[in-house]
Structure 1
Amino acid sequence: MSRMFCIPGIIFLFCAFVLSILVSISLPFLPALDIARAHMNGNALINGDTVNEIRFGVWAECTYKDDGSRICGDAGHGYSTSISDTNKDANVIIGSSWTRGLAVHPVATAVTFFALLFSFSSHVTVTLIASVLSFLAALLTLIAFAIDIALYAFLHHEIGKLSAVEGSTDTAPGFWLTFVSLILLLLAGCTVCFGRRRDRMSGASAYPSYPMSSTTGKTPFWKRFRRT
C-alpha cells in the first residue's frame, strides 16, 4: 500500500486499539474507565451500605462512600445491582440484561487487533482484508456504543424514580473513549481503502499502451521510382 496512506492507517488503527482495550478492561480493574455513573449524594442504599456514587463498567459496578472508599462487585459477564433510597420507599434494579451486552467491547478490541496486524502488509489482498476488518471493528464498536447509550439512558430513567435521592447521572470516560475509537476505525478503514485503490491505479499505469505499428510492410507505389 502507498506509504502516504499506509502510515496514517496504521496510526489510526493503533490508537483505536489502545483506546478500545482500555475500555474493555474497565471496572473493577481500571477505576477511572467506567461507562456510566450516578451521583446520589449519600441518600442511596446498595447492598445495605449508604453510598454516594455508583459506577458501571464492562465487568462490574463499583460504589463509593462519602469517605472515598470503594467497593466493587464480583467481576463477571452480565451483572446486576439494586438501588434504593435511605428510607427504603423506592427501589430500582439495573438488571443483567442492560450490562450483558457490554461484552461486545472486548470483541471489537479483538477484531481491531487483527485489522492492525493485517495493515502492516503491503500485499494487495492482505490490505483488502485489513480494510474489511477495520469496518467490521467499526460496526462492532458502533453496536457497543449503542449499548452504552442504552445503559446510560436506562440508568438515568431509573435514578429519576428515586425522588428522595435527588441524584444525577453522567456519561463516563469509557463512554467517550468508545466514541473516539469508532471515529478512528472509520478513518482507518477509509484510509486503507484509498491506499489500495491508489496501488491498483499505479499498477495499471505501469503498463502504458502503445500504438500498433503497421503490419503491411509494403512500400507505396510512387516511392518505388525514387532516385537513389
Structure 2
Amino acid sequence: MSRTYCIPGVFFLFSAWFLLVLVSISLPSFQAMDITRVHSSGQVASGSSEAFTQFRFGIWGYCVDLSSGRTCFNTGHGYSVTFANSQNAQVTIGSSWTRGLAVLPVAACVAFIALLLSVSQHITVTLVASLVSFLAALLTLIAFAINIALYAYVKHELGTLNISETTITGPGFWLTFVSLLLLILAGCTVCFGRRRDRMAGATSNSYQLNGPKGGFLSRFRRN
C-alpha cells in the first residue's frame, strides 16, 4: 500500500487501539477511566452506610468516594448497585446495564488485529485489514451505544429519588467515542490506499499492453 495512506492508516489504528486499551483497563485498576460518574451528598450506595460524594461506574467494578476516602470494588463485569435516599426509597442499576460494557475489550482485541494486518504491503492483506478495522468500529459503536444507555438509565433512575445529584459522562465514555472515529478513519484510509494501488497496477498493465508497436518489417530487423 502507498506510504501516503499506509502511515496515516497505521497511526489511526494504533491510536484507536491504545485508547481502547486504556478504557478497557477501567475501574478498579484505572480509577480515572470510568464510564459514568455521579456527584451527590444525599444518597447511599449499596455496600456503604453513609452518603457518598462521588460514584464511578467502570467495566470491571465501581468506586465510591466517602468522607473517609475512596473505596473501589472489583466485582467483575455485570455488577448491580442499589441507591437509596434518606426516605429509604431505592433504585437498582441491574447487571443487565453493566454487563455489556465488556464489549470494549473485545473491540480493543479486534483493533489490534487490524493494526497488525495494516502493516503488510500485500494488497489482499490490506483489504482484510480494512474489513477488520470496520469490524472493530462496529464493535466500538455497539460499546458506545451501551455507554449511552448506561448513562441515560443512571441519570433517569437517580432522578426519581428526588435528591441533589449530578450524573455526568466519564473519561472512558468520550475516549470510546474518539476511538470510534479513529477506527472509521483508519478503515477508510486503508481502503483508499488499496484502491489506489489497484488502479496504479491496472494503469501499468494497460500501458504495457498498449505500448508502441512496430510494423510488419520490424519483426525482421536486428536489435
* Structure 1 length-normalised TM: 0.89
Residue 166 of structure 1, CA deviation: 1.3
- 2:172 is matched with 174
- 2:103 is matched with 104
Q: Does 1:74 align with 2:58?
A: no
SS in 1 for 2:53: strand
Residue 107 of structure 1, CA deviation: 0.4
SS in 2 for 1:30: coil
* Structure 2 length-normalised TM: 0.91
Which whole-Å CA distance do the structure 2 matches of 1:23 and 1:162 have between them? Answer: 30
Q: Does 1:26 align with 2:42?
A: no
SS in 1 for 2:37: strand
Q: Does 1:12 align with 2:4?
A: no
Residue identity in the other structure for 1:182:
L
CA RMSD across the alignment: 1.3
Bigger-Rg structure (1/2): 1
Residue identity in the other structure for 1:52:
T
Residue 155 of structure 1, CA deviation: 0.3
Residue identity in the other structure for 1:56:
F
The 5 Å alignment of 1:125-204 reads: 125-163=124-162, 165-204=163-202
Residue identity in the other structure for 1:94:
I
Corresponding pairs, count: 212
The 5 Å alignment of 1:79-98 reads: 79-88=79-88, 90-98=89-97
SS in 2 for 1:14: helix
SS in 1 for 2:28: helix
Residue identity in the other structure for 2:118:
S
Deviations 1:66-114 (A, max 9, x none): 34x11122331200011101331x1000000000000100000000000
SS in 1 for 2:56: strand
SS in 2 for 1:185: helix
- 2:118 is matched with 119
Gap runs ≥5 in structure 2: 218-223
Residue 202 of structure 1, CA deviation: 1.2
Does the 8 Å CA contact 1:159/1:168 hold for their aligned counterparts? Answer: no
SS in 1 for 2:38: strand
SS in 2 for 1:206: helix
Which whole-Å CA distance do the structure 1 matches of 2:17 and 2:136 have between them? Answer: 10
- 1:226 is matched with none
Which whole-Å CA distance do the structure 2 matches of 1:80 and 1:74 have between them? Answer: 12
- 2:65 is matched with 64
The 5 Å alignment of 1:189-228 reads: 189-207=187-205, 208=207, 209-210=210-211
Which whole-Å CA distance do the structure 1 matches of 2:48 and 2:194 have between them? Answer: 59
Which whole-Å CA distance do the structure 1 matches of 2:160 and 2:67 have between them? Answer: 22
- 1:222 is matched with none
SS in 2 for 1:8: helix
SS in 1 for 2:139: helix
Deviations 1:167-225 (A, max 9, x none): 1100010000000000000000000001001111111122202366555x6xxxxxxxx
Gap runs ≥5 in structure 1: 218-228
